[in-house]
Chain A
Amino acid sequence: EVQLVESGGGLVQPGGSLRLSCTASTFTFSNYWMHWVRQAPGKGLVWVSRIEKNHGRYTSYADSVKGRFTISRDNAKNTVYLEMRSLRVEDTAVYYCATVNEPLGAWGQGTLVTVSS
């Protein structure tokens, strides 16, 4: 069974940093673009970032996180990361990793990030 497991969420103060991880299993991770999506409490889904398959040289970001968040991947560890800096209260959300527009159609269960003083 295809599986994505996120970790690294928690409580952080405004202006702080956090790194999320998403580890994949039972599929060839390096063959897939990977995405991060977030969902604030009681709100809709918001696309955050994506990283190219294979070497991950190409990345893109939503305007709301550009310059503050960095996506990366380690294919040897089957893991994609989201480094989040200068966190704001409005970054509070459940963060999901996922494959998009693929037959795989995989989503993780999410990890909660709470930004609060």
Chain B
Amino acid sequence: QTVVTQEPSLTVSPGGTVTLTCASSTGAVTIDHYPNWIQQKPGQAPRTLIYSTSIQQSWTPARFSGFLLGGKAALTLSGVQPEDEADYYCLLFYGDVHVFGSGTKVTVL
């Protein structure tokens, strides 16, 4: 069974920078996994921020950027705002199925 691992929680100061990562139990994450990054705030539906590794949705603030780093998918938040406090999930494609990561709770403090 494929497992996708993320940091359980990260804390960042307002205006700071934080990088979330997404690792696959099958090996290195590549562009062929089409990494997506999804944000979910308490009580709200999920919202996709990034797809195909690095492409921003039309509503995604420029401070969110997706890329590959050291065999993992990564999401960097630069100039963090209080409203960025949320759960962040990565989603990877494995040829027939998709698998979500365990999620990272980002706290802005």
A-to-B contact residues, CB < 8 Å: 35, 37, 44-47, 50, 60-63, 96, 98, 100-103, 105, 107-110
Contacts and interface: CB of A to CB of B under 8 A. Distances in A.
A63 B1 CA distance: 9
Given A101-B36, A101-B52, A103-B57, A45 B89 contact: yes
B91 A100 contact: yes
Interface of B: 1, 34, 36, 38, 40, 45-48, 51-52, 55, 57-59, 87, 89, 91, 93, 96-103
B89 A107 contact: no
A103 B58 contact: yes
B104 to A, nearest CB: 10
A107 B47 contact: yes
Q: Which 7 A-B pairs have the closest CB atoms?
A: A105-B48, A47-B98, A44-B103, A105-B57, A45-B100, A101-B51, A60-B96
A61 B94 CA distance: 12
Contacts of B38: 45
Given A45-B38, A101-B52, A107 B99 contact: no
Given A47-B91, A96-B45, 16 more contacts: A37-B100, A44-B87, A44-B100, A45-B38, A45-B40, A45-B89, A45-B103, A46-B100, A47-B98, A62-B97, A100-B51, A101-B93, A105-B48, A105-B57, A105-B58, A107-B46
A103 B49 CA distance: 10
B56 to A, nearest CB: 10
B45 A100 contact: no
A61 B52 CA distance: 21
A5 B105 CA distance: 27
